[in-house]
């Protein structure tokens, strides 16, 4: 069976996503709004990926993002949000509420398929369980949680992918272009803002640690240890 994808949005959005993703061989389920989406997420067979339409009349899609991130059994679920308008306010709101990826509704179907295919590869690669420790950071890979002293934080899937990479390459400068390729398999420099937002969120969660993510202008970022 192919990957399970839940598409949440109005009917034209559902139909467009179903057509665009048909070639992936995915099991695509749909929900017209937040209550229906929550019902699907309560089932035993959860989706591998949620694709969420932003910009509905009542704005309740942000309620779904909150629900996913605050529910222990769902908070590692990967969410892609798609919006007709990507102004600064909408972009900030989406990432602050926990979306992993943000795309424009004008994205061509071929590019959308390529992006979703790359995301599904990351989901499969990120399913390995186990725990490991780096400096004063204890990382629970299965549940996407970090513990620093008595403080515990839950990471989004993208934050986990970033932290895992930073730890693997600690002390080395990782250019934004490298991070774009690693996370989303793209060289689109417009998306560097997404990188910056995810790094900003990760920095806050790492704030009690002796490790920090430094900005290396104008290249990118590196993980260092504060003595």
4-125: CATH number: 3.40.50.2300
What SS3 state is found at 153?
Answer: strand
| pLDDT at residue 5, as a whole number | 94
| pLDDT at residue 81, as a whole number | 92
In the chain, CATH 1.10.10.10 sits at: 131-225
**Does residue 123 carry a pLDDT above 80?**
no
Instruction: Specify which residues 28 forms β-bridges with.
Output: 5
CA separation for the pair 21, 28 (Å, rounded): 8
CA separation for the pair 117, 100 (Å, rounded): 15
Assigned architecture for domain 131-225 = Orthogonal Bundle (1.10)
In the chain, CATH 3.40.50.2300 sits at: 4-125
DSSP 8-class letter at 83: E
Instruction: Specify which residues 223 forms β-bridges with.
Output: 213
209 vs 69, residue with greater confidence: 209
Q: What is the pLDDT of residues 58-94, one digit of tens each?
A: 678 889 998 988 887 787 788 999 998 877 777 878 8
């Amino acid at each position: 069976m192919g990957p399970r994808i839940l598409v949440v949005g109005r009917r034209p959005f559902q139909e467009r996503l179903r057509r665009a993703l048909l070639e992936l061989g995915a099991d695509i389920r749909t929900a017209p709004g937040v209550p229906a989406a929550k019902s699907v997420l309560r089932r035993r067979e959860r989706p591998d990926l949620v694709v969420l339409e932003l910009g509905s009349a009542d704005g309740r899609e942000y309620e779904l993002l909150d629900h996913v991130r605050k529910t222990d059994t769902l908070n590692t679920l990967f969410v892609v949000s798609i919006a007709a308008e990507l102004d600064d306010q909408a972009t900030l709101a989406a990432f602050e509420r926990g979306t992993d990826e943000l795309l424009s509704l004008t994205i061509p179907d071929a590019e959308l398929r390529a992006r979703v295919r790359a995301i599904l590869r990351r989901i499969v690669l990120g399913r390995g369980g186990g725990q490991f420790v780096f400096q004063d950071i204890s990382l629970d890979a299965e549940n996407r949680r970090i513990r620093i002293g008595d403080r515990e934080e839950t990471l989004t899937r993208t934050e986990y992918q970033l932290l895992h990479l930073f730890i693997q390459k600690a002390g080395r400068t990782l250019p934004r272009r490298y991070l774009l390729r690693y996370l989303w398999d793209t060289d689109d420099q417009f998306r560097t803002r997404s990188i910056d937002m995810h790094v900003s969120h990760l920095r806050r969660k790492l704030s009690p640690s002796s490790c920090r993510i430094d900005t290396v202008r104008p290249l990118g970022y590196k993980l260092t240890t504060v003595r």
